[in-house]
Structure 1
Amino acid sequence: MNAVGVVVEYNPFHNGHAYHLEMAKKTANAEVVIAAMSGNFLQRGEPALLSKWARAKMALLGGADLVFELPYQFATQKAETFANGAVSLLSSVGCQSICFGSEDGDVNRFYQTASFINNHHDEFQMKIKYHIEKGISYPSAISQAFKDLSPDEEVIDLSKPNNILGFHYLQAVQKLAPSINIFTVSRKSANYHDEHFASSTIASATSIRKTLFSDDGSIQGVKQYVPESTYRQLVDYYHAYGSFHSWENYWPLLRFRLLQTNPEELRRVYEVEEGIEHRLISIALTSNSFYDFMKKLKTKRYTWTRLQRICLHVLTNSLKSEMSNHDEQVKFLRLLGMTEKGKMYLNKMKGQTSVPIVSKLSAHQHEPAIKLDIRASRLFALGAIESKRQLLLDLDYKQPPIIIRKQNKNGTQ
């Protein structure tokens, strides 16, 4: 069975994602779509709106056939490490191709960009270092360094978030799994960071979340931008757990961690560098919300995203010694869910995956990489209202992989 892989967060799954899955299958001429999906915390260093289980179900109802969790060790990292983990995962489950969404939409331009940078590697790295030393963030330095080289050939815009990720997926494939084919699909109507609805049916996940968290927002307000199955999951999740998840849910926990931990201990936490531990502590003393804290913490040198990732690693106490992964490979495949077709694919792949498939957590809970995911899930559960936290705390051990049976035309089973 020909399988195409996608790298996703689905925060939440919306109509643009459904289009991407449809086009991925069509473009790659695939029978099965396999998703490498971030767990309860995401690449931008923030909690997911809903649990990984709810988002996995959205994905399966929306067109994916298998959903595997991208481990915390990769899912909450910079673009390069995130991409290495995702490509490693998809390669491990036998994907013949990977299809990603991008602002550019032309895969040839990604190859041309990679070739250009490889041919100017030393100069490119020197330019990046020069701009970082001037005090700008690493992503901005990459974009500026690329502009400085002024390539004449057709290349992608590396200031665009999905282009950046797509470029790193291509680099990861060339390094880790060169036999995998790469395809890209243009994003429809809405851009990644759009905070307002751009069309009558397509919206960015950012604008959907903004509506759900706005003062007058309601789940009804996003109904036209998500499949009916997603809308039902949003309603059911809110009723089951009392809220969606945002950084504000975790601010009291983060503030407690910062105020009861000394600078020496904080320096052991992943990404805490250059004396920022002192700023973290001093600003926590005077901040009344996570947003207030972040506004005071933000500098030209650090992007909002990197600061969120630092805060996340402090919250989960993820140490430098735990987060390093020198061989850039996933050590296990945490299966979150499957359709009947996905189950058939797994049966055909039995014994052929390069790393073990984990469907029952208790048998693997003492493995170092899985310990990180368990810790992250436990912290995530504390973002629910108090009376519902135990339900989320139990999920990682009690929830078996979701199985979606054959659906009728309106998406119900």
Structure 2
Amino acid sequence: MHACGLIVEYNPLHNGHVYHIQQAQKLTGCDAMIAIMSGNFTQRGEPAILDKFSRTQAALAAGIDLVVELPFLYAVQHADLFAAGAVSILQALQVDQLVFGSEEGSIEPFQQALAVQEEHQAAHAHELKMQLELGLSFPEANRKAYEAIGLESSLDLTSPNNILGFAYLKAVGKLGASVHVDTIKRVQAGYHEQSISGPIASATSIRSAWQDKKKQEVKKAVPDVTLASLETENLHSWEAYFPLLRYLILTRSAEMLRNIQGMEEGLEYRFKKYIAQSTSFQQFLSLIKTKRYTWTRLQRVCVHLLCNTQKPTVGPFLQGAPYTPYIRVLGMTKKGQAFLASRKKQLEVPLYTQLKDGMHPIADLELQASDAYYSILAPKTAADARRQEISPPIFT
């Protein structure tokens, strides 16, 4: 079976995502649509507004045939690690094509940019090191390093989806993956757009509008299955976790905080200094944010603190090129089941349809992250949600 892969978060799934699914299927003429989806926490360091199972259900209703989880370890990371983790799963599943949405809309500029970077790799690394030593954040330092080698003349790397798309191409090359990569142009709404102006809106604007109780605006931008979940499921946001985050920072020593993934360069002292005077997550991040520490980076550190992601535990799995220790299925259709059957004999890693304690350190971390995600729910609700983690996948 010819398969097309998408790397997604669906936070939540909206009309733009449905367009992406339909256009990717049209572009590739594939037999099966495969989504590699972040779990309960996202790449930008946020708790997903809806849990992974609600979002899986929405994906299957929208035209996806198989939803595979991007492990937490790779889902809450900078673009290159996020991309490498996802591409490694596509390669393990022997997915033929990867189609991503981008502001650019054409694959040629990405390929040209990759050629430039590979040709000037040493110069880029040197310039990046210099910019970081000046105190710039990694994204800004990287942008300036790309600019110095002439890469930004061929591709706008200030646009979030272009950044991720470029990371996908780099990952394919680094991992030696046989996945063919293509892109379609994002339509109407920008990634960071704050308001809903039509039937296709950004996930950011949809989350914001829902929190502001603008149901009618959201209704025109999402499919019915997403709307139903927003109306009936437990919704998650950073503010709901702030009391727990505050408790963790106040009761842990700077040395204990230093062991948390992403906590570097004395950042633990800023956490300790500003948490006592903060009354909200928004205020806390505003106080600790600097030119070096971007909002997104700080959110990722907060996720790892919330989930107790320890450097000694995850460090060995982040060295070199990430690999896929297992493939975890969240949901599938009959077509998705047929795709798995067609690939099963060639799989070089275990295929899991449910998780159990002790299966693998990365799977243990996944369960740990889910426990943190469900911790704000009432005990019985949290226990029911946790049982989904060890249950068979959704089948439609």
Shorter-chain TM-score bucket reads over 0.9
What is the CA deviation profile of residues 274-299 of structure 1, one whole-angstrom value per residue up to 9, with x for unaligned ones?
11111101211111111111111111
Q: Which amino acid aligns with 1:375?
A: Q
Name the counterpart of 1:187: 186
Secondary structure at the aligned position of 2:181 is classed as strand
Provide the secondary structure at the position in 2 that maps to 1:68: strand
Contact 1:245 1:384 in 2 (8 A): no
Query: The residue matched to 1:122 in structure 2 has which SS?
Result: helix
TM-score (norm 2): 0.96
2:392 aligned to 388, 397, 400, which one? Answer: 400
- The answer to whether the 8 A contact 1:14-1:225 is kept is yes
1:62 counterpart residue number: 62
1:272-283 matches, cutoff 5 A: 272-283=263-274
CA shift, 1:385, in A, is 4.8
In structure 2, C-alpha distance between the alignment counterparts of 1:57 and 1:353, rounded to whole Å: 25
Amino acid at match of 1:49: I
Pairing of 1:5-404 with structure 2 (within 5 A): 5-150=5-150, 155-198=154-197, 200-214=198-212, 217-237=213-233, 241=234, 244-324=235-315, 325=317, 326=319, 327-362=321-356, 365-385=358-378, 388-397=381-390, 399-404=391-396
SS in 1 for 2:68: strand
- Give, in whole Å, the separation in 2 of the partners of 1:19 and 1:193: 18
Listed one character per residue, the Cα deviations across residues 94-125 of structure 1 (whole Å, up to 9, x for unaligned) are: 20111111110110110000001111111112
1:360 CA drift (Å): 2.6
Say if 2:105 and 2:186, in contact at 8 Å, map to a contact too: yes
Q: CA deviation at 1:386?
A: 5.5
C-alpha distance in 2 between matches for 1:219 and 1:337: 28
2:188 and 2:314 map into 1 onto residues whose CA distance is 37
Distance in 1 separating the partners of 2:146 and 2:342: 44
CA distance in 2, matches of 1:329, 1:370: 14
What SS does structure 2 have at the residue aligned with 1:361? coil
CA contact (8 A) 2:117 2:151 kept: no
Q: Once the 2 structures are TM-superposed, how far is the Cα of residue 316 of structure 1 from its aligned partner?
A: 0.9
| Residue range with higher mean Cα deviation, 322-331 or 368-377 | 322-331
Tell me if the contact between 1:11 and 1:50 (Cα under 8 Å) persists in the aligned partners.
Answer: yes
Query: Normalized against structure 1, the TM-score is what?
Result: 0.92
Q: How far 1:180 sits from its partner (Å)?
A: 1.3
Is 1:39–1:52's contact at 8 Å kept on the other side of the alignment? yes
Question: 1:29-68 CA distances to partner (integer Å, 9 max, x unpaired)?
Answer: 2110101000001111110001000001111111110001
Which consecutive residues of structure 2, in runs of 5 or more, have no partner in the other structure? none
**How far apart are residue 395 of structure 1 and its match?**
2.1
What is the distance in 1 between the residues matched to 2:107 and 2:157? 14
- Matched residue, 1:409: none
Query: How far apart are the structure 1 equivalents of 2:105 and 2:355?
Result: 39
In structure 2, do the counterparts of structure 1 residues 150 and 366 end up closer, same or farther at CA, with 3 Å as the change threshold? closer
Q: Secondary structure at the match of 2:183?
A: strand
Q: Counterparts of 1:179 and 1:330 in 2: how far apart (Å)?
A: 15
Question: Could you say what secondary structure the match of 1:182 adopts?
Answer: strand
Equivalents in 1 of 2:314, 2:156: separation in Å?
A: 30
Gaps spanning 5+ residues in structure 1: where? 405-413
- Superposed CA deviations along residues 186-206 of structure 1, whole A, max 9, x for unmatched, are 1110111111124x2100000
CA RMSD of aligned residues (A): 1.5
Shift of 1:269: 1.0
Question: Would the aligned equivalents of 2:109 and 2:154 in 1 still touch at CA under 8 Å?
Answer: yes
CA contact (8 A) 2:128 2:145 kept: yes
Residues 64-84 of structure 1: CA distance to partner in whole angstroms, max 9, x if unpaired? 100011001100011000000
**Alpha-carbon separation, structure 2, partners of 1:52 and 1:171:** 27
Corresponding residue pairs, total: 393
Letter in 1 for 2:342: K
- Using the TM superposition, give the Cα deviation of residue 330 of structure 1 relative to its aligned residue in structure 2, in angstroms: 1.5
Paired with 1:379 and 1:74, the residues of 2 have a C-alpha distance of 17
Secondary structure of 1:17's aligned partner: helix
